[in-house]
Amino acid sequence: MANTMVAVDPQGHEFSVKKKNKKHTAGWWAQTVAAVVITVIMLFPLYWMISTSFKSAEEVQLPFPTLFPRSFHPENYGYVLQKANFLKYYWNTIVMTAGILISQVVTGILAAYGFARGHFKFRDGFFYIVLGALMIPLQVTFIPIYIMCSDWTMNDTYLGLILPEAVSAYYIFMLRNSFMSIDQSYIDAGRIDGLGRLGCIWYVLVPMSKASIYTITLVTFTNGWNAYFWPKIIAGNEVRRVLTVGLAYLKNTFAGQAVSNYHQIMAGAVLAILPVVILFFIFQKYMMTGYSKAAMK
């Protein structure tokens, strides 16, 4: 009976129909195997980092690495937090990332509205200049920005970490496209209800572009949290050191030990990526929606 199903004809009579066994094609198997292999390749470094973070100093030095820790050592995390000044690095990273995120969201939304719905002279010309900023490698701008920050005495300050990243051409470009896809009638309806420009942005455009804003915000957060080169240049003092730079100095922090401290370095790396992983799982639904909308435009 497992291979049969009951059907009803137009006159209401029931009869049994034998179900066909669904057979997967060779193409389906090839796609499944490829997906599994790619997933394993991408996730294995993450697994190896977590596994190593629980190993002992002796185990990480074995000539034949072990896939699973022979004994768990959660004290690696406590040692990193207590001895490596990691909590200070965490705080510096949170302040820097929050400052970059807030400034990019505010400037991005306002600028995107101006380029999408504003009517002023040379609007398209200014937008092409913004697009041109996307074509310039970041490394080219580091030296002039560093000289400017040094002249303004912003070395080893939160302002020096945040200000050069306060505006994002990518954020403006993506949000402009999202705002332009919204029908003008919604904005006109808001103005009839008495909304001004800022009211239309906040109550009309932003809610209707929520998926895109969440997606771009998560990308901005990830880029700010993972920033390494600029924080290393502008904040050489340990007082303003961020997580990514602190990881590079983590080995030096434990210098003098008889064995290399890869287990503690991996513990620091796990602590560093936790916020990004948590936010991804929270907002992954909006990310998929945002990327789908961007692909259809």
pLDDT in tens, 129-184: 988 888 888 888 888 999 999 999 998 999 999 999 999 998 899 899 889 888 88
Q: CA-to-CA distance for 182 and 55, rounded, in angstroms?
A: 53
Beta carbons within 10 angstroms of residue 135's beta carbon? 7
Per-residue pLDDT averaged across 62-69, rounded?
A: 86
Q: CA-to-CA distance for 64 and 201, rounded, in angstroms?
A: 59
43 HSE (CA, 13 A, CB side)? 7
User: 0.75 cut: is pTM over it?
Assistant: yes
Nearest to 247 by CA among 90, 113, 98, 115: 90
Whether 238 and 245 have beta carbons less than 8 Å apart is answered as: no
* CA 148 remoteness from chain centre: 28
Query: What was the pLDDT predicted at 22?
Result: 59
Q: CA-to-CA distance for 226 and 276, rounded, in angstroms?
A: 9
Mean per-residue pLDDT of the chain? 83
Strands (E), the chain: 4-8, 14-18
Whether 275 and 225 have beta carbons less than 8 Å apart is answered as: yes
Domains and CATH numbers, the chain: 1-44 (no CATH), 80-296 (1.10.3720.10)
Whether 79 and 264 have beta carbons less than 8 Å apart is answered as: yes
Query: What was the pLDDT predicted at 262?
Result: 84
pLDDT tens-digit readout, 209-255: 888 888 888 889 999 999 999 999 998 788 899 998 988 777 755 54
The percent of residues in the chain predicted with pLDDT above 90, rounded, is 29
Query: What was the pLDDT predicted at 16?
Result: 56
